[in-house]
Amino acid sequence: MQAVDRAISVLEILAREGDGGVSEVATELGVHKSTAFRLLNALERRGLVEQSQDRGRYRLGFGVVRLAGAVSGGLEITRRGRPVCERLAGELGETVNIAVAQARYAVNLDQVGGGCADWVGLLTPLHATSSGKVLLAHRTARRRAELMSRDMRRFTRNTITTGHQLAEHLETVQRRGYAVTVEEYEVGLNAVAAPVRDPEGNVFAALSASGPAHRLTETVLHERATTLIDGADEISDRLGFPG
């Protein structure tokens, strides 16, 4: 039982911090580094954690969200948002996703449309995705500053990698009411996203449409924004946000 308790504690630490090294995990658990390493190694073999780009640092793996996916269909936002996603996917002819924030990432809870890879359960960077930008733009100023103070990985030549540039971009997101990414996470992939609000009016999710850059051009992204905003507002209404 102690091993199970420690393994769960490791997952909670990584969920809270976003990532962590063996020494950090060992300190949090109050165990020797070798014990922490064995726990992380066991969780990595089952896909529950994975090593980040910085070898020796771990973050939650796809397996965690896949397990969560077993209950995500029962989550209120996926249940109430699914009809909207299905309609938009048909209207736009693109892949539609609903994502929420998890630590320093956006995690996709639901997807409709098969034009892109299956994003459900994937942890994607806040600074390089349309959903992530929406979620980040509506965090508190302190939380945004904290997240932007960390290294922002470059995925393509279009990726925003400086806090100053991202801060300006997020101001635009707030002003427009939507976010776009133009080949910032993957070459050849563009996306647009709008905020979904809870009954208190807080932005807690993002509705996005993504597709090939040759079809979903930057001009088209802005043209589709109104449709995404309307769809996100409809989901918000379904969740009880009075508007």
Q: What is the CATH number of the domain that holds 24?
A: 1.10.10.10
CATH code, domain carrying 131: 3.30.450.40
Q: Which of 30, 60, 90 is the last residue of a domain?
A: 60
Low-confidence ranges of the chain (pLDDT < 70): 1, 53-55, 62, 64-75, 114-117, 242-243
117 with 143, same domain: the answer is yes
What predicted TM-score, i.e. pTM, was given to this entire model? 0.70
**Alpha carbon 112 to chain centroid distance?**
16
Determine the length of the chain. Answer: 243
Distance CA 42, CA 210 (A): 35
76 with 54, same domain: the answer is no
97 with 191, same domain: the answer is yes
Q: Which of 60, 94, 110 is the last residue of a domain?
A: 60
Contact 207, 196 (CB under 8 A): yes
The confidence score (pLDDT) of residue 158 equals 95
* Beta-ladder partners of 21: 57
49 with 164, same domain: the answer is no
- Is the four-CA dihedral 6, 9, 10, 11 of positive or negative sign? positive
74 with 164, same domain: the answer is yes
The confidence score (pLDDT) of residue 187 equals 95
Distance CA 197, CA 142 (A): 20
114 with 10, same domain: the answer is no
Overall domain count for the chain: 2
40 with 155, same domain: the answer is no
94 with 108, same domain: the answer is yes
* Beta-ladder partners of 51: 58
Residue 140 CB neighbours (<10 A): 8
Q: Which of 36, 60, 84 is the last residue of a domain?
A: 60
The confidence score (pLDDT) of residue 140 equals 82
18 with 91, same domain: the answer is no
Distance CA 48, CA 38 (A): 14
3-class SS at 29? helix
184 with 90, same domain: the answer is yes
125 with 223, same domain: the answer is yes
Domain limits at 102? Answer: 65-239
Distance CA 56, CA 46 (A): 17
